[in-house]
Amino acid sequence: MSESKEQRIEDSYDAVIIGAGNGGLIAATELAMNGVNILLLEQHNLPGGFASSFVRGRFEFETSLHELYDWGPKSNKGGTRRLLERYELDSEFIEVPEAYRLILTDPNEDLDVVMPFGIDAYLDAIEKEVPGCRDSVSKFFDLARDVDIATSYLGRSKGKPDQEVLLREHSNFLKTAAYSVEAVQDALNIPEKAKSILNAYWLYLGIPASRSNFTLFSSMVYGYILKGAYIPKFRSHDYTTALDNKIREFGGKIEYNTKVEKILVENGKVTGIETSNGDKIKTNHVISNASPTLTYNKLIHPKSEVPEIAYKEINARRHGVSTFVVYLGLDATAEELGLKDYSYFISNNMNTDELYDSLNNLEAPEVQATICLNNAIPDCSPPGTCIVSITTAFLPGSWDDVKPEDYFTIKNKIAEDLISTLEKTTGAPIKEHIEEIEVATPQTIARFTRAYNGVVYGYEPDSWDSIIPRLAMMNDDKHIDGLEFCGGHGKRAHGYSSSLKDGQTAALLTLQDLQKKGELK
Amino acid sequence: MSEEKNKFDITVKSNSRDLFAFTKLVPNRKKRFERASSEPITKDPMNELAVRLHPIRQYLVISEIKDETKSTKTFKLIPDPDSKTKEVAYFRAGQYLSLKVQVNGVLITRPYSISSAPSEALKGYYEITVRKEDQGFLTEFIWDNWKKGTKIESSGPEGYFFYEPLRDLKQIVGIAGGSGITPFRSMAKAIIDGKLDAKLTLMYGSSEEDDIIYYHEFKEMEKSNPSKIKIVHVLSCDAISLEGCEKGFITKEIIEKYCDANSSTFFICGPQIMYNFVEEELKKLNLPVKRIRREAFGEVKDILTHPGFPKEVAEKIYKIKVHIGDMSKEIPAIATESVLVALERANLTPPSKCRSGECGFCRSLLIDGKVYVNPVSDWRKSGDKRFNYFHPCASYPITDLEIIVPRDL
């Protein structure tokens, strides 16, 4: 039809951003703010990727965010907050009341503890629970602070740190960078029970303490405890729509419902893209918010332009977990249900190897991270109701053999088991108050984001592939001229803050390249 | 910065081994990459499952047509063998298909509940049952043109009007009016074939005896499954010859005569006029919100009768400047018709599915002007409201507008 032809986008752009997830949105905003002529393409009809919301009945649910790390109060702003404030974003964020409540269900564990924000308050609470652990846990935080100082030094040095300075001032960072959380915690002689409490956030990175890299994990824990955690007042869709608004204000163009099918490459250089709507767009710069897995295996055209090393890199790494979420709109208040806390980590025990293994069956995993949104935003749902979401994870592959006709039964069974665990551990009568329920599985993730195999987290941040080697090898990991990546599979590993910051890095690298080549109009 | 800190120095293994491990990070990562397989990944099981459960399009063809009543037909739809659709997607009883039909050169969409059972989708077909409306823009076209072999473009199964065992009570009370019975046929069949563990009592309102859809079929289902299926016909006509019918409309009294309202979950599907009546009756029962599920009733047809609508614009025709992709066009829009209809009349093929404000698929950006959004159909996210995104299917122009509409998928 002639109309649909007229609707095609035939222009050329300085840069095209593929995917309006956290990374893609920031990359587009940063470039547009710098006057770069950009086009942001998103296959879904909404911005945000995982950072979204949806409405059912009287409720608007947060899709995936539990809490933003590195936001911080006005008096002590974190990097993520400074980044979004750079764009004067019109979106409000609210502080989460307490760090978390950890409940271990194994009768041998006997642990049910609420942990506060603030390093001193946290140390007091953990010492009370595990007498005698204060010294070793406080060393953990000292190390985490050293890591934090060292990584900001690395950031300032733009990848060219002075070896002398590193050795003299940042030796604690150097000496822990290659080790797992477990190795360092053992070296500090942190008691088992204190480790259990300290590692409650493990699911946010999705790999067990025996492999989870210390640099990354300790930064995360330190960031949360030092600066608190924040969430958007009107769900993540609000700030992602605010970013959409900013991109347009800065002169950028956004097209939803537009799936990129090909990134055209000639002699190792990006020359354009093609979309499912038949658009053929010329550009020398693409920022892919799609994973390298998807980009190299599906998007680069022709296939002969994909270097062998790109496949090897993907195959050497392990894809992170996908998520499973039960969203509940309940017709009772949090208070009536006896849910006092915002964030609940509930698991059998804190043997994270065992918990990780439990993510590999088509059964309810032995771990859940549950949020009661009203305990941070009291009026997030109508009077007399509350919003609870139960999140767990699955390893890629665990859902591979599910048939369409069994799908709804399987997901309901897992959802029911997770709800039962929440009821048993908190005493809250959930089932009888369900007014709205929605269950998202790895399939749902694939459906809405088209992420490879429904994977939510990026590649697993083992020490060998954690942020330090990733950042150090930024240039080695570049294989096609004009192609940058951003997002949860990026240089800073996964998580909202990492993805947002990675978006800015990708934009700045692209901007640098545009300037160097004199391509800016 | 460094003077006051570093009260202690960490040693994980030994000072030199710890530093050495750091220096080996990059070489080790390189080595791991070099040693890995260079095979491309070709399988993506979750995206494959997503496409099977939620295809963006299903290319179907009519394989059979059955007359249900003088004004109602059931169409059996199977995958179009000439297309890439090889199976029909599985669904949950109560869901709908958004059909895309070209009527006199204009592409429009309409949601139709699937009236066949989910298990029948596994056998390769759907059924939809359509009632011919007086001056129905689409249904008149369907009556004249849909024949065995006609190709139909459809969405995947959509909507939230289905029984959810974690939420709903085992006793379903269906309240249906006219062609609103169609999703209940699917539910009844699913109950009978054991896929849905529930019981259904259906209160079905019709205006004439010969307007009753599936009369004999439901009688049969009731007879062979008396403990699970029960149907009560409520007829608003004067002369009733059928046995065991109720006369009038579906009132609180009739509902209570056949059901224990407090231990049931209500599912309502029918024309707007029925909702208006039944909602008032259900209010008297004082049920919790969660016990009443409503199917979205499609586009509001008489927006003028809604109290919030500014009556003074009723006769007005406004201009909408529409941007879709690289195209910009000015189109006329009648104040009492939704922005979506104006877009369709101009043949701009906007995206749409539910036509009730609920699914958000037509979500567009209002750059300039004002729209009236019917509060009953306002399912927008809070962020969308703050940043002037709106759902054209549930919004009416009350000034000239400038809007950005996404292209259809």
Interstrand relation of B401-404 and B364-368 (parallel, antiparallel or unpaired): antiparallel
d(CA A240, CA A457): 19
Write the ipTM.
0.96
d(CA B179, CA B115): 10
Residue B351 Cα distances to A8, A12, B100, B137, B141, angstroms: 15, 25, 10, 19, 21
Chain B environment of A61 (Cβ under 8 Å): none
| Residue at token pair 């060292």 | A150
**By the 8 A CB rule, do A308 and A38 touch?**
no
A434 touches chain B (CB under 8 A): yes
Residue from the list A188, A443, A453 with its beta carbon closest to the beta carbon of B53? A443
**Domain ranges, ordered by start, for chain B:** 49-158, 171-294, 304-404
Question: Which of A350, A339, A327 shows the shortest CA–CA distance to A419?
Answer: A327
B258 touches B316 (CB < 8 A):
no
Tens-binned pLDDT, residue by residue, of chain B (409 aa): 444 544 689 999 999 999 999 999 999 999 999 999 999 999 999 999 999 999 999 999 999 999 999 999 999 999 999 999 999 999 999 999 999 999 988 999 999 999 999 999 999 999 999 999 887 889 999 999 999 999 999 999 999 999 999 999 999 999 999 999 999 999 999 999 999 999 999 999 999 999 999 999 999 999 999 999 999 999 999 989 998 899 999 999 999 999 999 999 999 999 988 998 999 999 999 999 999 999 987 788 789 988 899 999 998 999 999 999 999 999 999 999 999 999 999 999 999 999 999 999 999 999 999 999 989 899 999 999 999 999 999 999 999 999 999 999 8
CA B263 and chain centroid, separation: 27
Check residue B299 and give its pLDDT.
81
User: A-B interface: how many C-beta pairs under 8 angstroms?
Assistant: 262
Q: Test B349 with A1 for CB contact under 8 angstroms.
A: yes
CB A174 within 8 A of CB B18: yes
* Mean pLDDT computed over A478-503: 96
* Residue A68 in tokens: 């933003």
pLDDT at A3: 67
3-state secondary structure of A356: helix
Q: Chain B within 8 Å of A54 (Cβ-Cβ)? A: yes
Q: Which of B290, B327, B349 sits opposite A434 (nearest CB)?
A: B290
* Rg, chain B, Cα only: 27
> Taking a contact as any Cβ pair under 8 Å apart, which residues of chain B between 51 and 70 contact chain A?
52-54
Chain A residues within 8 A of B122 when measuring between CB atoms: 405
B25 touches chain A (CB under 8 A): yes
Cβ-nearest to A465 among B2, B29, B107: B29
The whole-number pLDDT of residue A154 equals 87
The two structure tokens encoding residue B362: 């037509």
Q: Per-residue pLDDT for A462 more than 60?
A: yes
How far is residue B50 from each of residues A401, A452, B56, B368, measured CA to CA in Å? 13, 11, 10, 37
What is the DSSP code string of A430-466?
Answer: -GGGEEEEEEE-HHHHHHHH--GGG--S-B--BGGGS
The residue of B166, B263, B268, B366 whose CB has the most chain A CBs within 10 angstroms, and thus the best one to mutate to test that interface, is B166
Are A312 and B29 inside 8 Å of each other by CB? no
Which candidate in B7, B44, B158 is best for mutational testing of the A interface (most A CBs within 10 A)?
Answer: B44
Interchain contact B39–A (C-beta under 8 A): yes
CATH assignment, B49-158: 2.40.30.10
CA distance A259 to chain B (A): 9
Task: For residue B266, list its beta bridge partners.
Answer: B173, B292
Nearest CA among A55, A51, A47 for reference residue A63? A51
* CB < 8 Å to A91, chain B: 383
Contact map slice: A 365-384 vs B, CB within 8 A:
none
CB contact under 8 A, B10 and A437: no
pLDDT in tens, A383-398: 999 999 999 999 999 9
Q: What is the CATH number of domain A2-51+237-318+460-516?
A: 3.50.50.60
Per DSSP bridges, beta strands A15-18 and A38-41 are parallel
Q: Tell whether pTM > 0.90.
A: yes
Q: For residues B279 and B283, what is the distance between their CA atoms, to the nearest angstrom?
A: 6
Residue carrying the six token digits 């919004």: B395
| B100 three-class SS | strand
Residue A199 makes CB contacts below 8 A (sequence gap 6+) with: A181, A209, A350, A352
Q: Which of A7, A61, A233, A259 is the best substitution to test chain B (most B C-beta atoms within 10 A)?
A: A7
Q: What is the CA A363 to chain-centroid distance, rounded?
A: 24
The alpha carbon of residue A153 and the mean position of all alpha carbons in its chain are separated, in whole angstroms, by 24
Pairwise CA distance, residues A234 & A457, whole Å: 24
Alpha carbon dihedral B209, B211, B213, B217, in 10-degree steps, equals: 30
Q: How is chain A split into domains, by residue range?
A: 2-51+237-318+460-516, 117-227, 321-395+400-440
The distance of B272 to chain A (nearest Cα, Å) reads 18
A360: tokens are 């590999």
Q: Do B407 and A277 touch (CB under 8 A)?
A: yes
CA A217 to chain centre: 13
B35 contacts A316? CB cut-off 8 A: yes
pLDDT of A245 higher than 90: yes
For domain B304-404, the CATH class is: alpha beta
CA dihedral (B14, B17, B22, B28) in degrees, to 10, reads: -140
Q: What is the CATH number of domain B171-294?
A: 3.40.50.80
CB contact under 8 A, A405 and B349: no
Chain B residues within an 8 Å CB radius of A407 = 49, 53, 90
- Searching chain A, which residue's CA lies closest to the CA of residue B347? A3
> What's A224-286 look like in SS3?
HHHHCCEEECCCHHHHHHHHHHHHHHCCCEEECCCCEEEEEEECCEEEEEEECCCCEEECCCE
Place of tokens 């940043």: B387
The answer to whether A46 faces chain B, any CB pair under 8 Å, is yes
In tens, the pLDDT along A398-414 reads: 999 999 999 999 999 99
Instruction: Give chain B positions within 8 Å (CB) of A11.
Output: 326
Asked if the C-beta of B327 comes within 8 angstroms of chain A's C-beta atoms, the answer is: yes
Residue A2 has pLDDT above 70, yes or no: no
Distance from CA of A265 to the nearest CA of B (A): 18
pLDDT > 90: percent of chain A? 94
**In this model, does residue A98 exceed pLDDT 70?**
yes
| DSSP letter, residue A180 | B
Residue range A192-215: mean pLDDT, rounded: 97
Which residues 227-286 of A are in CB contact (within 8 Å) with B?
234-235, 237-242, 244-245, 255-258, 276-277, 279
Facing A238 at nearest CB: one of B39, B166, B382: B382
Residues in chain B: 409
A2 vs B193, which has greater pLDDT? B193
Average pLDDT of chain A is: 96
Say yes or no for a CB contact (<8 Å) between A473 and B30: yes
pLDDT in tens, A278-301: 999 999 999 999 999 999 999 999
How large is the average pLDDT for residues A473-484?
Answer: 93
How far is Cα A109 from Cα A118, in angstroms, rounded to an integer? 26
Q: How high is the pLDDT of residue A1?
A: 46
Q: Is the pLDDT of residue A158 over 90?
A: no
